[in-house]
Amino acid sequence: MNKKKKKTIKTIKVDVDKCNGCRTCEVICSAFHATPKYSSNNPARSRIRLIRDPLRDMYIPVHAGEYSDAECAGRDKYVIDGKEYEECAFCRASCPSRDEFKEPDSGLPLKCDMCEGEDEPLCVKWCLNDALVYEEREEEVEEDEQEAQEEMEIGLEALADKFGLEKITDAVARMGEKDR
C-alpha cells in the first residue's frame, strides 16, 4: 500500500501588475550567486530575468527553470489585455532559441535554486513593491513505490555510465560489509 508523505512546495507568486521594471531582482540574484558570494554582480548571470518593454507596458519577471536541449517546434503568441506576448516571455527554460538563463561566458544553463540557505529568495526580499511574493505550502502526496524504484534505477544507471558497472557493484558490496 502507498504511504502518504509531506512535501513542501516553494512558490514565488509573480504579480506583474505590481512590477515597476527596476530589475533589482536581477541585480541581487546575480550578486548572491557570485563566488565568493556578493563579490560581483551581473544581471546577465541572473536566474531571474525581467522581460521588459515599458512602451508596450510589458513586465514579466521569469525564474530560470529546466534546461532544454531543443527549442520548441512551434511557438505560440498570447494576447492578454490587448498586449501580444511571445510564448517565450513566460517560458522558464534555458534553451537554444534565446540568450536567457545562460552564463554569458560559458553558455552553461542557469537554474533558480530559490536562494538555498536564505529565509526567502533574495529577489523576493529585495522587491519592495511585492511583485514577487514567496509562498511555501505543504502538500500531502502519495509516496509512489514504483516512482521511487524508477528514480533509484535512473541514478544507478548514471553512476554505472560514469564509473562502470563493476566498480558500482564492488562499492555496493563494500557498503553491505560495513552495515554488517
Partner 1 sequence: MRYAETGFNLEIDLSRGSIERVESDPELTEHFLGGLGTNAKILWDRVPPEVEPFSPENLLIFSAGLLCGTPAIGCNRTIVSTISPQTKLMAYSMMGGFWAPELKYAGYDKVIFRGKSPDLVYLWIKDDKVEIRDASHLKGKGSNETADLIRQELNEPKAQVASIGMAGENRVFFASIEQGRSSASRLGIGAVMGDKGVKAIAVRGTKDINVAQPAEYLALCNEVLEYIKWRNDNPVPGVMTILQGLGSPQEMKVHDEKWHTENFMWGNSRVRRRDFWNEGVAQKWAETLDTMRTRLISCFNCPMECGATITPPGQPTFMMKCFSKLTYTMAAFSDLDFGLKIAQRATEYGVDGFSTPQVMAFGLELYENGILTDEDMPGMPSDNEGRFYWLLDKIVRREGIGNVLANGTYWAAKEIGKGAQEYAHNNIKKHEQLPLKLSMLNPVYFLMYCTGEKINITQIEGQFPQAPYPKREHREAFVKDWFQVPDEKFKQYFLDWEPRGENSNPYYPTVQMSCDIVDWQERMHYIDDAVGMCAGLSSFPMKPPYHIHNYPKFITSGAGIEMDEEKLTQAAKRYRTLVRAINISRGMRRVDEKPPENHWKKRFPELEEKLLDAYYKFKGWNNDGIPTKETLDELGLDYVSKDFLKRGILTENEDASSDETSAEKEEE
Binding-site ranges for partner 1 (CB under 8 A) = 20-24, 27-28, 31, 34, 36-45, 53-57, 59, 104, 126-129
Closest to partner 1 by CB, 67 vs 126, is: 126
Cα–Cα distance, 75 to 66 (Å, whole number): 18
* Cell numbers representing residue 96 in the block: 537554444
Closest to partner 1 by CB, 73 vs 128, is: 128
Q: What is the DSSP secondary structure assignment for residue 93, as one 8-state letter?
A: -
Q: What is the DSSP string of 42-58?
A: -GGG-SEEEEEEGGGTE
Cα–Cα distance, 46 to 100 (Å, whole number): 9
Cα–Cα distance, 47 to 132 (Å, whole number): 14
Q: Whole-number minimum distance, CB 23 to partner 1, in Å?
A: 6
Q: Whole-number minimum distance, CB 117 to partner 1, in Å?
A: 14
Contacts of 132 (CB under 8 A, 6+ apart): 12, 13, 14, 15, 25, 61, 121, 123, 124
Q: Whole-number minimum distance, CB 90 to partner 1, in Å?
A: 16
Closest to partner 1 by CB, 53 vs 170, is: 53
How many Cα atoms occupy the beta-carbon half-sphere of 84 within 13 Å?
Answer: 2
Q: Whole-number minimum distance, CB 119 to partner 1, in Å?
A: 13
Closest to partner 1 by CB, 32 vs 63, is: 32
Closest to partner 1 by CB, 51 vs 168, is: 51
Q: Whole-number minimum distance, CB 116 to partner 1, in Å?
A: 17
Cα–Cα distance, 63 to 77 (Å, whole number): 20
